[in-house]
């Protein structure tokens, strides 16, 4: 078994990381537009009120808003079958809670989808990718307010109805499980918390309650979407964090199991099985966390299950009960270094075989089609003679794609692969431009300077060949 004829090859982006035009044609700010740049060592700051003197990378990003024709033509040249992108909620409902949509926003995406179809590219649309409108943060404290479920569903219904004949594949919330960790407080839940480091019982309860609202909103979007067009394929999206025990010490294994069921299964199970697992409910009980789950919520979760499971996969991490090991990722749950793996410049541990393991693990648990909607190498590139010799990126992608093929042979059902991100964009984690993932180089730096001119990297031609040969030719 190898890649099927209709395997969806492509690339993945998000509105806030590419579009720019943050306050143009009626759009208002999202959480991304209030977040400054940072780096591996410097945390990104969120400003409740924008500061004149600060640089906000999403305001212009790579100006896809004005370059989309050129950019989509380049994706088509590579032979993309699918283009994953997100609709910025705040372009359609600028404050987040309006009844009627902003026509100019609808027109923008309409043009994009038409262009995609001109090139036979299937759009895959994320409804919410770390870009909750600021109005929702300020007036409602994000999803901690139950009413926000309805605002989101109104937005989802509006776009799913408007594009019902142009978009077939949808994802609800990007990396919904980030709602469980501090990083996701704003990004996923829309809650602004000045003292994020200080955890209180009350805040923990609010977190789980808010995440519950997000899960209900996701399920409701699935239900409403199917009413609009029963042929829609709607997926969830999980940042799948694959953990290994650092040692065979049973204590390490127990901790690994706990991390896995918390980070991966807590949300995944609800979205695939339509209810919280007993393990999750036991976990909440143990922490004495009572959340309000109504009968109606239960009904919605039950009926709003997804058609396929999509996830991002960049790295794996080890887990140990012992103190004093070198940490891998400050902003996440704090896995430790795996002595068998190399890391990227941004300290993400590269693990192609872990992708085969993850695909098998997920298929074993859920038995529904999977899609890898993010995978790639963030690296510094040097532009020379109008191109970049990015053999390191080719190597990363090649090894991961090989493992997908092996997983297909294992019998796992994989619908497609969209690498992050086909064109250089703003890093979500650090806000840098220098953390580049693209097949296409964009002339812009961390301070926002540059011509915005696009250049094809070596990987551009490589990926074109991969798609042309349907994954046969990875050299
Ligand atoms: P950046 C951390 C870990 C795994 C996935 O990330 C993550 C993050 C956030 O830093 O986010 C996803 O740009 C996300 C994308 C993001 C991409 O991974 O920090 O869905 O928006 O750009 C890569 O290198």
Band the pLDDT of 325: cuts 50, 70, 90. confident
330: pLDDT strictly greater than 60 = no
Q: What pLDDT does residue 332 have?
A: 61
Q: What pLDDT does residue 406 have?
A: 98
Pocket of ligand 1 (CB under 6 A): 14, 17, 130, 174-175, 239, 312, 314, 374, 378, 420, 427-430, 435
Among 101-105, 261-265, 318-322, 363-367, the least confident range:
318-322
Nearest CA to ligand 1 atom 5: 239
Distance 427 CA to ligand 1 centre (A): 7
User: Catalytic one among 19, 131, 374, 432?
Assistant: 374
Q: What pLDDT does residue 1 have?
A: 66
Among 4-13, 27-36, 194-203, 244-253, the least confident range:
194-203
As given in the structure block, the two tokens for residue 267 are 């949300």
Q: What pLDDT does residue 326 have?
A: 74
Q: Tens of pLDDT along 220-242?
A: 999 999 999 999 999 999 999 99
Q: What distance in Å separates the CA atoms of residue 421 and residue 417, rounded to the nearest whole number? A: 12
Q: What distance in Å separates the CA atoms of residue 112 and residue 304, rounded to the nearest whole number? A: 28
Q: What pLDDT does residue 333 have?
A: 64
Q: What pLDDT does residue 78 have?
A: 98
Q: Tens of pLDDT along 410-451?
A: 999 999 999 999 999 999 999 999 999 999 999 999 999 999
258 carries an active-site annotation? no
Q: Place domain 8-468 in its CATH homologous superfamily.
A: Glycosidases (3.20.20.80)
Distance 430 CA to ligand 1 centre (A): 9
Q: Tens of pLDDT along 46-70?
A: 999 999 999 999 999 999 999 999 9
Query: What integer is the mean pLDDT of 313-333?
Result: 79
Q: Tens of pLDDT along 129-158?
A: 999 999 999 999 999 999 999 999 999 999
* Percentage with pLDDT > 70 across the chain: 98
Q: What pLDDT does residue 287 have?
A: 94
Q: What pLDDT does residue 197 have?
A: 84
Band the pLDDT of 200: cuts 50, 70, 90. very high
Q: Tens of pLDDT along 277-291?
A: 999 999 999 999 999
| β strands within 381-453, DSSP E | 414-420, 440-442
Q: What pLDDT does residue 475 have?
A: 94
User: Catalytic one among 19, 122, 131, 175?
Assistant: 175
* Atom of ligand 1 at shortest range from CA of 331: 2
Nearest CA to ligand 1 atom 15: 428
As given in the structure block, the two tokens for residue 413 are 């059902």
Taking all residues of the chain, what is their mean pLDDT, rounded to a whole number?
96
Q: Tens of pLDDT along 356-406?
A: 999 999 999 999 999 999 999 999 999 999 999 999 999 999 999 999 999
CB < 8 Å & 24+ apart, contacts of 26-29:
26/91, 26/94, 26/102, 26/104, 26/105, 27/88, 27/90, 27/91, 27/94, 27/102, 27/105, 28/90, 28/94, 28/95, 28/133, 28/134, 28/135, 29/90, 29/133, 29/134
Q: What pLDDT does residue 329 have?
A: 56
Q: What distance in Å separates the CA atoms of residue 436 and residue 380, rounded to the nearest whole number? A: 6
Q: What pLDDT does residue 323 have?
A: 83
Distance 314 CA to ligand 1 centre (A): 9
Nearest CA to ligand 1 atom 16: 428
* Atom of ligand 1 at shortest range from CA of 174: 20
Q: What distance in Å separates the CA atoms of residue 181 and residue 332, rounded to the nearest whole number? A: 7
Distance 368 CA to ligand 1 centre (A): 24
Distance 429 CA to ligand 1 centre (A): 6
Nearest CA to ligand 1 atom 4: 239
Nearest CA to ligand 1 atom 21: 428
374 carries an active-site annotation? yes
Specify the DSSP class assigned to residue 62.
Answer: T
Distance 320 CA to ligand 1 centre (A): 24
């Amino acid at each position: 078994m190898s890649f099927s004829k209709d395997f969806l090859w492509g690339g993945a982006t998000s509105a806030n990381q590419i579009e720019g035009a943050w306050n143009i044609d009626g759009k208002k700010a999202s959480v991304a537009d209030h977040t400054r740049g940072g780096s591996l060592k410097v945390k990104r700051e969120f400003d409740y009120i924008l500061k004149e003197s600060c640089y906000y990378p999403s305001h212009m990003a790579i100006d896809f808003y004005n370059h989309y024709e050129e950019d989509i033509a380049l994706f088509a040249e590579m032979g993309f079958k699918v283009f994953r992108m997100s609709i910025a909620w705040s372009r359609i409902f600028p404050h987040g809670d309006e009844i009627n949509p902003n026509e100019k926003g609808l027109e923008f995406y309409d043009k994009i989808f038409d262009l995609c179809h001109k090139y036979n590219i299937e759009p895959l649309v994320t409804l919410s990718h770390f870009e909750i409108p600021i109005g929702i943060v300020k007036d409602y404290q994000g999803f901690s307010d139950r009413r926000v479920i309805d605002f989101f569903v109104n937005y989802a219904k509006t776009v799913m109805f408007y594009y019902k004949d142009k978009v077939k594949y949808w994802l609800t919330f990007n990396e919904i499980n980030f709602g469980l960790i501090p990083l996701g407080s704003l990004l996923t839940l829309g809650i602004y918390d000045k003292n994020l480091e200080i955890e209180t019982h009350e805040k923990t309860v609010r977190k789980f309650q808010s995440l519950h609202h997000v899960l209900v909103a996701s399920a409701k979007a699935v239900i409403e979407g199917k009413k609009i067009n029963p042929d829609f394929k709607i997926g969830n999206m999980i940042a799948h964090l694959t953990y290994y025990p650092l040692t065979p010490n049973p204590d390490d294994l127990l901790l690994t199991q706990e991390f896995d069921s918390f980070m991966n299964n807590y949300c995944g199970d609800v979205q695939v099985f339509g209810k919280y697992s007993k393990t999750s409910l036991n976990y909440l009980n143990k922490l004495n966390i009572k959340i309000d789950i109504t009968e109606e919520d239960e009904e919605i979760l039950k009926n709003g299950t997804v058609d396929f499971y999509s996830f991002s996969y960049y790295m794996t991490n080890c887990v140990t009960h012992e103190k004093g090991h070198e940490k891998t990722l400050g902003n996440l749950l704090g896995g430790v270094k795996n002595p068998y793996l190399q890391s990227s410049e941004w300290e993400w541990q590269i693990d192609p075989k872990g992708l085969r393991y993850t695909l098998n693990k997920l298929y074993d648990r859920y038995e529904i089609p999977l899609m890898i909607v993010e995978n790639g190498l963030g690296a510094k590139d040097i532009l020379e003679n109008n191109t970049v010799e990015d053999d390191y990126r080719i190597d990363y992608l090649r090894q991961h794609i090989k493992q997908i093929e092996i997983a297909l042979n294992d019998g796992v059902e994989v619908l497609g692969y969209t690498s992050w991100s086909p064109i250089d964009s703003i890093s979500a984690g650090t806000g840098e431009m220098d953390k580049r993932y693209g097949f296409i180089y964009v002339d812009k730096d961390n301070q926002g300077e540059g011509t915005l001119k696009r250049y094809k990297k070596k990987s551009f031609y490589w990926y074109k060949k991969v798609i042309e040969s349907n994954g046969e030719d990875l050299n």
